[in-house]
Amino acid sequence: MKGLFLITALLPFLIMGQVKPLKDKVDSSSYYFKKAVLLSACLPGAGQVYNSIKMTTGRKNAFWKVPIIYAGLGATSYFLISNQKMKNELKQEYTLRLAGGGDQKWIDYDDPAILSIYQQYLDWRDLSILAIGAVYLLQIVDAGVEAHFIKFDVSDKLSFSVDPTLMNLNSPGFTLKMSFR
């Protein structure tokens, strides 16, 4: 188990050591996109950290997303484990009842109620698996989208303003001004 964890932790660094970009690709945002997505796929949050390091203009800190990613993965994993434990407990209770026994914890429930609760926890367990996948895919998409904005121009030469105005001297409205200098 420790070996698997070590391989998983070191895999992004081993892969990135093998990737050699072409000289004309270094400034391309597609290179940053591919690398950020690959890092995030191998280790959740690694793409966000990579983007934070590579950003040269604008916001330079996407580190705050990493605890949110791990909190989402941790919460959904917790629900998966607790729903799986409860499903197994209900399955064991039902098989004990079929054999003529049972646990005092479930004495208030009849057999159809036990089966109904079992089905509920089975559904919740399946939803927890989907939620883990959704959080995992969402963090990969976030790393990719943010990587596209690494070379995005946020200089002062670009401006956008919305000002109130009177139209036809009696109707209120808004004026939209955009300038590209």
Range of the domain at 107: 69-137
How many domains is the chain built from? 1
85: in domain:
yes
52: in domain:
no
127: in domain:
yes
Q: And the tokens for 155?
A: 């200089």
pLDDT at 154: 64
Which is it for strands 158-167 and 171-180: parallel, antiparallel or unpaired?
Answer: antiparallel
Instruction: Report, as ranges of residue numbers, the positions in the chain whose pLDDT lies below 70.
Output: 1-29, 56-60, 152-156, 181
20: in domain:
no
pLDDT at 25: 46
**Cα–Cα dist 56/52, whole Å:** 9
181: in domain:
no
pLDDT at 172: 87
93: in domain:
yes
pTM: 0.68
| Buried b or exposed e, range 92-110, using 16+ CB within 10 angstroms | ebbeebeeeebeeebeebe
The sign of the dihedral angle between the CA atoms of 97, 99, 100, 105 is: negative
**Cα–Cα dist 85/121, whole Å:** 9
Q: And the tokens for 137?
A: 């895919």
83: in domain:
yes
